Structure 1
Amino acid sequence: MIASADILIQPIASEHIEGFHKALDTVARERKYLTLLEAFPLEETRAFVLGMIVKGNPQFVALAGSDVVGWCDISRHTFPSHAHAGHLGMGIIPSYRGQGLGRRLIEATLQAAHDTGIERVELSVHADNSRAIALYEKVGFVREGLACRAVRIDGHYKDAIHMAIIYQ
């Protein structure tokens, strides 16, 4: 494992797509943190990332050498009446958690979102993910609601907390 200070946070580029796909699949297959239970096929992931780049949506990766060990992205809503807002998604592979990468990733992504005119960033987090909730609150997200039994994984239900940060 590489120390957090040696891990680069940078905007995603086409050469990171396969690593992002692998990291996303690793976190999804834990079946604990994401609604996605496995990554989409590589070509769909490629289309998603290239679309994010073309649209100017912020998407950052954490790189340990050339390996993607985490990501954070904000997808701007497409309806004109909601285009001032975006939805945040993020994850870090297990061996790199607890080193401050989440905060570095989210701060870089939120700054880029603000710089591109996104005024509101929303997210949903499983209610039992206390580490993520604490991170989101530290960077300024507030709880806006609770969706009971919003997620069902392997026959078990989880509530989801809806959170947002608004820039004025």
Structure 2
Amino acid sequence: MTYEIKPIAEDHIPGFRATLDAVAREQKFLSFLEAPPLEQMRAFVLNNINERWPQFVVVAEDEIAGWCDVLPNPRRTVSLHCATLGMGLLPKYRGQGIGRKLMQRTIDAALARGFTRIELTVRETNVNAIALYRSFGFETEGLHRKAVCIEGRYENTLSMALTS
């Protein structure tokens, strides 16, 4: 399969939103159940581009197959060094090493940008993602019991971080 990892660009926004929405609707991975409206996504992405935050997409088979970003923490006391990683891939692109390459590119850009702490939260049941994060050096820092509730089903999440 041929794919390319690229910094997100304005013309990627509709495809990025569609991919984010598809992953969110799986109800297994993200902290929200659907993507925000297109105009809200446009403002979000254009701000990230303007600020040059690390945000990449995978383009495969004429679609956005996935994304990974490392965005600064909004709290002022940590925003100069601390950021949060988010990522997702459409199901047909998982398990092929694409996520690993995408994450490596994004983390490299985040470290080059000067971030010294990259945080994330992950559902405790997402063992594949946890293994991927650990392989990059992320360490578990906390357990959040009943942090997610979807259709009456509770799930725990883990807080993980990578420090340099």
Match of 1:30 in 2: 26
TM-score by length of 2: 0.97
Match of 1:69 in 2: 65
Query: 1:152: how far off?
Result: 0.5
Distance 2:74 2:149 in 1: 27
Query: 1:57: how far off?
Result: 1.1
Match of 1:114 in 2: 111
Match of 2:132 in 1: 135
Query: 1:74: how far off?
Result: 1.0
1:43 aligns with 2:39: yes
- Aligned residue pairs total 163
Query: 1:39: how far off?
Result: 0.4
Distance 1:7 1:106 in 2: 15
Query: 1:154: how far off?
Result: 1.1
Instruction: Kindly provide the CA deviation profile for residues 129-160 of structure 1, in whole angstroms up to 9, marking residues without a partner as x.
Output: 00000000011111101000001111100000
Distance 2:130 2:9 in 1: 28
Distance 2:66 2:47 in 1: 19
Distance 1:73 1:126 in 2: 18
Match of 2:3 in 1: 7
Query: 1:14: how far off?
Result: 0.5
> Which amino acid letter does the alignment assign opposite residue 69 of structure 1?
A
Query: 1:79: how far off?
Result: 3.1
Point out where structure 1 has 5 or more consecutive residues left out of the alignment: none
> Which amino acid letter does the alignment assign opposite residue 113 of structure 1?
A
> Which amino acid letter does the alignment assign opposite residue 75 of structure 1?
L
> Which amino acid letter does the alignment assign opposite residue 164 of structure 1?
A
Distance 1:114 1:58 in 2: 10
TM-score by length of 1: 0.94
1:148 aligns with 2:145: yes
Query: 1:118: how far off?
Result: 0.7
Distance 2:16 2:138 in 1: 25
SS in 1 for 2:100: helix
